[in-house]
Chains A and B, each alone.
Chain A
Amino acid sequence: MKEKVYEKMLLFCAMASTLVVVLVGLFVFLQGYPLIAKTGFISFVFGKEWLPGGGVFGIFPMVIGTLAVTLGALVIGVPLGVTTAVFLAEYAPGIVTPWIRRAVELLAGIPSVVYGLFGMTVIVPLVRYTAVHWFGGVLSPEMKTGFGIIAASIVLGIMILPTIVSISEDALRAVPQEYKKGSYALGVPRWQTIIHNTIPAASSGIMAGVVLGMGRAVGETMAILMVAGNAPALPRSIFSPTRTLSGNIGLEMSYASGEHAQALFATGIVLFIVIMLLNSFALFIAGKGVKVR
């Protein structure tokens, strides 16, 4: 009898995360829906002007900003992350592997504000120097501050490394030994085997890692706030300052009220939907990989 009660309590614990997801969805939708209903979903998402004081709420600049920063992060994070994963799965000598893996874990543990501070004081000045000295003639003044898409992409690219490395390494290790041995037996050298055999066999897992890294990049707030410049205008070059969807919420929620607050919740809805789509996609491709094998 007593055991049945305990079991029910445990079931309740297990259901907690389900309850939280439902509540998060419900609250964010309820708070943000009135504004979307009023403005219209299309003109909210594709509206080019964000003037909270004047009651004009269009998040298109932030959508583009998020897209630009995420793509930039992938351009830096994916080649570096997947190659590091190849190193861990195929090249690393036994004594080195656990240390590199620990370093990658630690990279995941560093608070995002610390990345932000590093970005503000090291990467932003470097970008500023490049912009002024190499492209000084062609860039307009707001693109020479160093804050912007490039700085945000570099910082985010480093931040998503752990996700990409660990998931890609798992995927590479899951490739059956026979594939590799068969290729070696035909006289194909190591690198050729990896490129033509191992990586294609692990591609669905690697893709899942990339998509999850994308999810991390889209959701990241603090580090981006500190390096992106946060101007709510359509970026005109990769040196332009930009604002992301999550940055929009983090930046303005502390003083927003009324319709303005609703618009930030509505931004949250868009973010929520994007992340859910990305994660379902990651699950879908990861699941596909298992079946193929």
Chain B
Amino acid sequence: MSVQVKEKLAACFVWGAALLTVGALVIIIGYIMFQGLDRISISFLLENPRRMGSEGGIFSPLLGTIYFTLVTMLLAIPIGVGAAIYLTEFTAEGLLVRVIRFFTDALAGIPSIVIGLFGFAFFVVMLRPLTGGWSILSASLTAFCMILPIMIRVSEEALHAIPASIREGSLALGVSKWDTVLHVVLPGALPGILTAALLGIGRVIGETAPLLLTLGGSLLVPKSIFSPSRTLSMHLYLVAMETGEFSVAFATAAVLVMVILLLNLGGYYLMKHLGRRIRGA
């Protein structure tokens, strides 16, 4: 075989692999939408599930998802951004930072089901008087442990993107370190941090394994963060595995996929437009 033919074949092979990868995405999303979209309606979103979720809508899991995501992000955003600020602004690379980085990477690698075991033993069983046992709060605390590393890493990237000259300019004017961070660095890094938050929300919504052990799986409308509940992804799993009612599972999956697509689009828009405006100012 001549060299030219080999090169042509190799190019076809490489293009083929890329098309297959993108094709997998298109087929999965397309199939879920195709199967799920026609069942989605206003009443599907606003009716409570009946008969273990095989009939009715998805109102209570939807509400559970919103509560659970809100509480998780309320914990994860401040602590994640705080950690990122400390790591980028307040310390030089040293032993402490290396230790923190090591453990953050380690946490990112721990399987979510193992974090779920921890959440069950600690938040559900040991702290029952505080968290209400299986509850939105227990699940949020567990999910917070899980997404902390990704929040820290993406926020750190956002902070690193701010040029040193901007910090130095502020410090040279006699502004204190803390005020520089608060009024100069943070506003500039805001689009990046918001993107981190959207990424985090996407992961929290998609996660299911630790919730099996901490959220309780109740189909009732949650009264407070101390109530058990279930999220959309958990609902999808339980409906598909326990009732075999795939039309509801597909519709729930389609709602989930749409939410994930919107979050991704939002993150993209934020980085592109808000980022440019702030850099341009």
Contact = CB atoms under 8 A, between A and B. Distances in A.
B109 A17 contact: no
Interface string B68-110: 0000000000111111011100100000000110011111011
Given A249-B116, A253-B117, 8 more contacts: A13-B83, A83-B14, A87-B17, A103-B25, A190-B10, A219-B114, A271-B114, A276-B109
A212 B22 CA distance: 21
A200 interface: no
A107 B176 contact: no
Contacts, number: 260
Contacts of A117: 32, 236, 240, 246, 249-250, 253
B158 interface: no
B12 to A, nearest CB: 11
B44 interface: no
Contact of B241 (A14, A165, A226): A226
A279 interface: yes
Interface in A7-36: 7, 9-18, 20-24, 27-28, 30-31
A14 B113 contact: no
A95 interface: no
A187 B264 CA distance: 43
Nearest to A6: B178
- Chain B interface mostly: helix
A102 B145 CA distance: 27
Contacts of B15: 87, 91
B83 A246 contact: no
Contacts of B206: 109-114
Contacts of B62: none
Contact of B22 (A30, A100, A122, A189): A100
A17 B103 contact: yes
B10 to A, nearest CB: 4
B122 A27 contact: yes
Interface of A: 2-3, 6-7, 9-18, 20-24, 27-28, 30-31, 79-81, 83-84, 86-88, 90-92, 100, 102-107, 109-118, 120-122, 158, 161, 165, 189-192, 194, 212, 215, 218-222, 225-226, 246, 249-250, 253-254, 264-265, 268, 271-272, 275-276, 278-279, 283
B202 to A, nearest CB: 5
Interface string B112-135: 111111101110000000000000
Given A20-B148, A106-B264, A253-B213, A10 B85 contact: yes
Contacts of A189: 3, 6-7
B149 interface: yes
B208 interface: yes
Contact of A191 (B10, B28, B207): B10
B169 to A, nearest CB: 20
A18 B103 contact: yes
Contacts of A88: 18
Contacts of A31: 117, 121
A158 B88 CA distance: 35
Interface in B224-281: 233-234, 236-237, 240-241, 246, 249-250, 253, 256-257, 260-261, 263-264, 268
Contacts of B17: 79-80, 83-84, 86-87
A221 B28 contact: no
B11 interface: yes
Contacts of A105: 264
A21 B237 contact: no
B240 A116 contact: yes
Nearest to B9: A191
Contacts of A272: 110-111, 114
Contacts of A10: 82-83, 85-86, 90
Contacts of B176: 3
